[in-house]
Amino acid sequence: MPLSSTDEIVDPAYQETTGVGAFNVVQIEHAEAIVAGAEEAGLPVILQISENTARYHGSLAPIAMASLALAGSAGVRVAVHLDHAESTDLVREAVDLGFTSVMFDASRLPYEENLAATYEITDYCHRADVWVEAELGEVGGKDGAHAPGVRTDPDEALAFVTATGVDALAVAVGSSHAMLTRDAVLDFDLIARLRTAVGVPLVLHGSSGVGDADLAKAVAAGMTKVNVSTHLNQTFTRTVREYLTAHPETADPRKYLGPARAAVADEVARLLRVLAGR
């Protein structure tokens, strides 16, 4: 079916208090696996490309065009989203390429500067009919994001959303980026208070560090868009390592990338069902 807009996927989930999976694309095999997993589950999905990934490929366009093509030929609703963009030029490029949403991350700036920069980007994107996610609070490294002082304040979150007009807000509630273990301790009461306060979908970053049961609890408490990257990379890399250990003579990368792609597809399908409460 045609490329879906992100709000077509996120808004129904927000209204129904269910979760939507947003999975990061590093290379084309990731995008293929994510779409295949969504089709297996019969559920919508969001493909995400981060600023770091664009930098890895040398530019945004090649991996973006592949992801957009896969999204546009999928059998389920698929949106393509720019993740953790700090560069305004990259946001503008993503809009020009046809991305249906962007996550503009000015969370490292002082509050007033974050607000001003986010307002400017949101105004630009909305004029192009592009959905905008922003971040308030620090979803940083494992230690920092578990410190009480970096959690998102509901009153400040409401003021930020009202002033910027963003469509969704990534909040700091106890998860951390790049966790290799699934033992993050989420503040479910804070999630519920944030959902009540802000009136737009909440986004959980660092979800690779959250176990299945707590992912389901986070969605029930008020999270809508759930970002997963490191967990899928672990699945991908583990499968490649196992194949090459068993077949050390292998030279053709398709021999080990294919099984890794299939393993990620299975995990995407499983996680989508967890988030959808199925």
What element of type H or E holds 220? Answer: helix 212-221
pLDDT of residue 139: 46
Q: How far apart are CA 226 and CA 218, in angstroms?
A: 9
- What tokens were used for 219? 């969605």
Bridge partners of residue 23, in order along the sequence? 47, 228
3-state SS assignment for residue 2: coil
CATH code for residues 6-276? 3.20.20.70
Exposed, middle or buried, 50 (CB in 10 Å: 0-12/13-18/19+)?
buried
pLDDT of residue 184: 63
Contact 47, 80 (CB under 8 A): yes
Contact 206, 139 (CB under 8 A): yes
pLDDT of residue 185: 61
pLDDT of residue 114: 87
pLDDT of residue 272: 98
pLDDT of residue 140: 45
Residues whose CB falls within 8 Å of the CB of residue 257, separated by 6 or more in sequence, listed in order? 29, 240
pLDDT of residue 176: 55
pLDDT of residue 173: 84
3-state SS assignment for residue 223: strand
59, HSE (Cβ side, Cα atoms, 13 Å): 6
Name residues of the chain where pLDDT drops below 50.
139-149, 180
pLDDT of residue 135: 86
Q: How far out from the chain centre does Cα 161 lie?
A: 19
3-state SS assignment for residue 168: strand
Known catalytic residues are 83
Domains of the chain by residue range? 6-276
Phi, psi for 8 (deg, rounded to 5): -65, -25
pTM across the whole model: 0.91
